[in-house]
Structure 1
């Protein structure tokens, strides 16, 4: 397997063919159907068709069908099973925001485009909604015919079966690997690395990680906080920069450090690992232990003592405007941190990188209320616009009718024509011709094209925000790119700092506030 390199894959003959195809395309009429080419590949092997060949084959197909190529959506190293078309980086942009710019979506083979029947059904619905067609180079697919629709469903079913078989094989491999003492597949837990022994793949202890973990254990037994622990480990060079308290705690709580095989425990809302038991009901040993069972148990007890006073994490998150409130000094998000003391809970807004989280601002709700008031003061009266899709088919049909009528009257007004025989018929025909010409001139050329239009839904930003509450406003602010710098200033003799908020609003905020319906919002 290898990563695809665009510059390296185009040969001289490929480029020559590309130029020939572009010259042929230049001869097409202006109203030729427009084609978008979709090129996808998860991995490039000797058995797969390279993206260059896919693109050239699709350009030949477009030439044969009389399509003008308006773009190439190239999504490489992307799995069609895991990532549907509307979530791919390039193709997703075309589908979600550039639908008016093409008439047909061309792809090399259905399994290069889609591998799930549910995704295929979604794309067919999307094509029907926007009047687009799906065309395959190597499959009999054409949504404009009944046969083509039947074929796309049958081929899609085969592609899904193939993907399911692949998934089953992978799952079987993982299930088998979990029962073995050898290391067959996967990434080892922190503290271990793969090695070869007697031709077998085994796990060995990484010396630097072993030193870091035992150092962390000693700090935990002394009551050092996880935050302080992570800072010391990074400064010592034993662990990489960017180490978080969550990461160091997850590493220290992993039973794999005793040399046992583990699996992820997906219950409880936390990332934890649990022991896997063998047929004899005992843990499966796959590596030498970094911690003995006694050392591991005393470590867990120390971590529990340090963390027992922390209140449980809220399911939806404690910070209402996460990603909006920013520290101006370290440019990280402000988050709510909760502590308990003598039976009382305390909440503070702190940043991520300033020393000790910067000056903690108590009463997060008060900060939120000020932020909401500032936002509504600036944006409250903005009209909310909704992006809607407008078809140009009706206007195009009217233009065609008028042009045909005008051509008819012009021809019949020529000498020897039907309306040139008498003065009365000529005058009446000329009046009708003038009327038709005026009607044609009154049609805006833009309305003959499929396009996005903005429609005012009758509400202001204030009304929409009041209906949706803080969560809806926070989502809108993140979508638009509005942030708020939160400055905390120490006041002498006062424990709580002074808090000042400063909104940062993009210049094109009106355009960003436009609500764009998501055709794929309910799809997995």
Structure 2
């Protein structure tokens, strides 16, 4: 009996859908909680709710239930909910709180807007003791409190700080055990001929036989694309990788995002022989290498897309017509990448190098214009002109650093003054305690005037938690002179400054005329303010 195969595309785990999870009863409870919250005083503590879930299964607590439980907890604590940071399909082991899309924005940019951070359970918040320690330090620095619905966590008490460390240690042990099991599984799969986990190499897809056992089978579409590519690469006048990609995309055999370098990596992958492979991290060259079994032989996991003769003859053809892949430069070949853009197509301009008769030529080219828009020769001259223009416009701007100021002390002083003023005003009313003698009345009136002046001297902004910009004594000119082009490029990219390059072809002149236009946002001064990274490695 022949084997029945089925391509596996589904997963047993499902992503969370917000619209599908809220029932009528949940929405009714949410409305009641919001009505109760509206009755709180204006100075009630402000609570931010953190909801997280990696994968929704029958054993996990849904985000809807987490949010409702946290809103009930906020009501019990007398807190007003100012926001819900909902990060779904996010692993707490891989992504710490400050790097999550929603919670990270609150922690990095909106700290003045909340006083307490509420979460359902510690493992819903963090799973690494180092992440928990960083969050405790951050909360102590900014005057925030961590509160858990199902754990005894409260940073306002010493016992709560000890408990949060203990519970966090247990969560980290659980995460470490999970990580060990996963790493062990991957090491085990490398020695097996069966396909257990992982993404198949291009040319293959997973399928099930009649017994439900997973195996690799050759993808018909990929087989056709690969064999056609080999055929045109073996011609007397072989087709280039760029030409292969253009034809494959036009024929619908490959996606529109395919590049020539990716296609060449596919053609060079020994996995096309049906063997198990792993990444070869040799000096930055992206390659795959064979995994050897216990007997020192490659481990076969599927039928080969190519025979050995077909594969190795293809490699000889590719080696003969192509150049060695250059090692990747960690800093990149292009300076001001993302800042220098093409005025015609709007894409980034990157450095391309050509060698002719032993001489190296460099050009700035864009991604969409035909032939790179004639190219812009002499990139270093363009960089120098860009630096000159930026220094002329922004060089004298002061370097401002964002600092966090808490309003707790100012609020206490304001409250003390208001209570004292009320006391003296009551005492100066007819038949009040300060009206019995002329001396006590004059002294009370003088004291009241002094208290009112002190209250008026308090800046209304100082009673609120807020960000303030403080000058660090330097200008951006000195900052960039110390940090060089790299520091300037990073700042320009951060604040959204762009330089548009227009290339105009000149008659009887090989090189085009280059016109540069510096594009600076209107709110560039606010964007230039440096924000301290509270979650850097040195925190």
Q: What's the TM-score, normalizing by structure 1?
A: 0.96
Distance in 1 separating the partners of 2:272 and 2:369: 32
Structure 2 partner of 1:156: 168
Work out whether 1:357 is the aligned partner of 2:388: no
Distance in 1 separating the partners of 2:264 and 2:273: 16
Work out whether 1:183 is the aligned partner of 2:198: no
Deviation at 1:307, TM superposition (A): 3.6
The answer to whether the Cα contact below 8 Å between 1:226 and 1:249 also exists between their aligned partners in 2 is yes
The answer to whether the Cα contact below 8 Å between 2:339 and 2:493 also exists between their aligned partners in 1 is yes
Structure 1 partner of 2:52: 40
Change in 2 beyond 3 A, CA 1:85/1:316: same
Q: Deviations over 1:106-159 (max 9, x none)?
A: 000000000011101100110111011100000000111111111111111111
Structure 2 partner of 1:53: 65
Q: Deviations over 1:179-226 (max 9, x none)?
A: 222222211111111223352222121122112112222333444332
Q: Secondary structure at the match of 1:381?
A: coil
Could you tell me which of 275, 279, 303 is aligned with 2:318?
A: 303
Q: Secondary structure at the match of 1:36?
A: strand
RMSD of aligned Cα (Å):
1.8
The answer to whether the Cα contact below 8 Å between 2:115 and 2:143 also exists between their aligned partners in 1 is yes
Distance in 1 separating the partners of 2:284 and 2:328: 9
1:490-509 alignment runs, 5 A limit:
490-509=505-524
Structure 1 partner of 2:15: 3
Gap runs ≥5 in structure 2: 1-12
Work out whether 1:478 is the aligned partner of 2:493: yes
Q: Secondary structure at the match of 2:225?
A: helix
Q: What's the TM-score, normalizing by structure 2?
A: 0.93
Distance in 2 separating the partners of 1:224 and 1:337: 22
Q: Secondary structure at the match of 1:134?
A: strand
Deviation at 1:477, TM superposition (A): 1.1
1:25-424 alignment runs, 5 A limit:
25-199=37-211, 200-221=213-234, 222-308=237-323, 312-424=327-439
Q: Secondary structure at the match of 1:395?
A: helix
The answer to whether the Cα contact below 8 Å between 2:496 and 2:520 also exists between their aligned partners in 1 is yes
Change in 2 beyond 3 A, CA 1:331/1:216: farther
Change in 2 beyond 3 A, CA 1:172/1:307: same
Distance in 2 separating the partners of 1:246 and 1:311: 11
Distance in 2 separating the partners of 1:16 and 1:383: 53
Q: Deviations over 1:213-267 (max 9, x none)?
A: 1222233344433223322222222211011122112211111011111112233
Greater CA deviation, 382-391 or 146-155?
382-391
Deviation at 1:25, TM superposition (A): 1.2
Change in 2 beyond 3 A, CA 1:235/1:52: same
Deviation at 1:168, TM superposition (A): 1.8
Gap runs ≥5 in structure 1: none
The answer to whether the Cα contact below 8 Å between 1:36 and 1:73 also exists between their aligned partners in 2 is yes
Distance in 1 separating the partners of 2:324 and 2:176: 47
Deviation at 1:328, TM superposition (A): 2.5
Distance in 1 separating the partners of 2:509 and 2:325: 26
Distance in 1 separating the partners of 2:498 and 2:358: 35
Deviation at 1:105, TM superposition (A): 0.3
Q: Deviations over 1:462-502 (max 9, x none)?
A: 23222221111111111111222212222222222221112
Distance in 2 separating the partners of 1:218 and 1:499: 43
Distance in 2 separating the partners of 1:357 and 1:216: 26
Q: How many residues align?
A: 524
The answer to whether the Cα contact below 8 Å between 1:108 and 1:137 also exists between their aligned partners in 2 is yes
Change in 2 beyond 3 A, CA 1:284/1:198: farther
Deviation at 1:401, TM superposition (A): 2.0
Deviation at 1:428, TM superposition (A): 1.9
Q: Secondary structure at the match of 1:271?
A: strand
Distance in 2 separating the partners of 1:513 and 1:315: 26
Change in 2 beyond 3 A, CA 1:219/1:484: farther
The answer to whether the Cα contact below 8 Å between 1:310 and 1:340 also exists between their aligned partners in 2 is no
Deviation at 1:310, TM superposition (A): 6.8
Distance in 2 separating the partners of 1:132 and 1:399: 21
Change in 2 beyond 3 A, CA 1:42/1:311: closer
Change in 2 beyond 3 A, CA 1:271/1:312: closer
Q: Secondary structure at the match of 1:453?
A: strand
